[in-house]
Amino acid sequence: MTITYPAALTATSTFAVTAPSSGVPTPLHTRVHKAKKQLEQFCDHVIIGETVWTQKAARSCSAEIRANELMRFMTDPAIDAVMPPWGGELLVQVLPKLDWEKLANSKPTWLIGYSDTSTLLCSYTLQTNIASAHATNFFDLHMDKLDETTNQWHKILSAPSRESIVQHSSPMYQSSWDALFEQNDASGFDLDSRTEWKSTTATSVSFTGRLIGGCLNTLTAIAGTKYAPIEKWRNGFTENTLVYLEWGNWGTAEVYRNLWHLRELGWFDGASGAVFGRPARSTSTEDFTVEQMIHEFADEIGLPIIYDADIGHLPPQLTMINGALATISYKDGNGTLTYLK
């Protein structure tokens, strides 16, 4: 089995923005307009769906409307990429209403984003074997001076081939997700803290596998269901997998319980290692720290774990292509992600 990649993005590509999870509240609509203008610097056409403009009861609108708009964009041969404004809470409601056979047989389309959007990305890749891109959200594009790490997403998805493309750990990161909303007209992320990748190994470490993962908060909801056939997908390849995860708003014990759940469902079987992003709004459970938990979990699964990597809700973040074969390396607080094919 081989991974199918959507066509490389070009200056004539068409993007569609739809909200299969949360829409954008009215006070933030000006940032949607600005993000559209920023994205139009890379492509000719940006279509904003109706679901983007509404938000009620922790979702943009009904599951039926969200699913219909997503299907319309994903199966339109004129659309090259679909990029939700951001994540949210209830994307799982949409999954049963999608025509997965039609998606698998339609022109491959780039799905781009993270947070709850990764629920869709991961399921899309596992069910259709089409690559998807865990990267910055559309809403983030309203800032006109994004850092080099964030801006890699378009370069990587525009490349005719990703073979030998290398991403490096960022020099600085934003230590609070809320900082994005505390500034009225931010030109970029508030990169206020020095980036330092870490590893459960005593020295440098490197491992290779097919990337699969996303937001732990939401992926555990679909793990073990027909929407996340990880074992069937993994068995279609000769290479190992490389599992990447990030989370937020959880105490250490809750993170561990959810990692344990994935372990029991076989998500780390056949993996060469795991990569964890920087936790956002994460707290210790009593004296059980995140770092202690990660080291203990690495021992339990018998795999090396690189952590505090540039993935997730404390930007910037690397562009992780689900299904792609890549090598991730760590040494002396720094890291690289190299695509092999």
pLDDT in tens, 179-221: 666 666 778 999 999 999 999 998 899 999 999 999 999 999 9
What would the pLDDT profile of 314-329 be if each residue is shown by its tens digit?
999 999 999 999 999 9
pLDDT tens for each residue of 226-268: 999 999 999 999 999 999 999 999 999 999 999 999 999 999 9
What percent of the chain is predicted at pLDDT more than 70?
98
pLDDT at 183: 67
Whole-number average pLDDT of the chain: 96
User: Cα separation of 8 and 17, whole Å?
Assistant: 18
**pLDDT computed for residue 341 by the predictor:** 72
What are the two backbone dihedrals, phi and then psi, of residue 206, each rounded to the nearest 5 degrees?
Answer: -150, 135
Residue 5 in contact with residue 133, Cβ under 8 Å?
A: no
Q: If you average pLDDT over residues 140-165, what whole number do you get? A: 93
Over residues 90-119, mean pLDDT: 98
CA 215 to chain centre: 7
If you average pLDDT over residues 331-340, what whole number do you get?
Answer: 97
Residue 310 has pLDDT above 70, yes or no: yes
Quick check: 291 pLDDT over 70?
yes
Percentage of the chain modeled with pLDDT above 90: 92
pLDDT for 179 equals 67
Residue 186 has a pLDDT of 77
Helices (H), the chain: 29-39, 63-74, 100-105, 117-128, 148-158, 179-182, 216-222, 230-234, 252-264, 290-301
Specify the amino acid at residue 296: E
pTM comes to 0.96
SS3 readout for 71-114: HHHHCCCCCCEECCCCCCCCHHHCHHHCCHHHHHHCCCCEEEEC
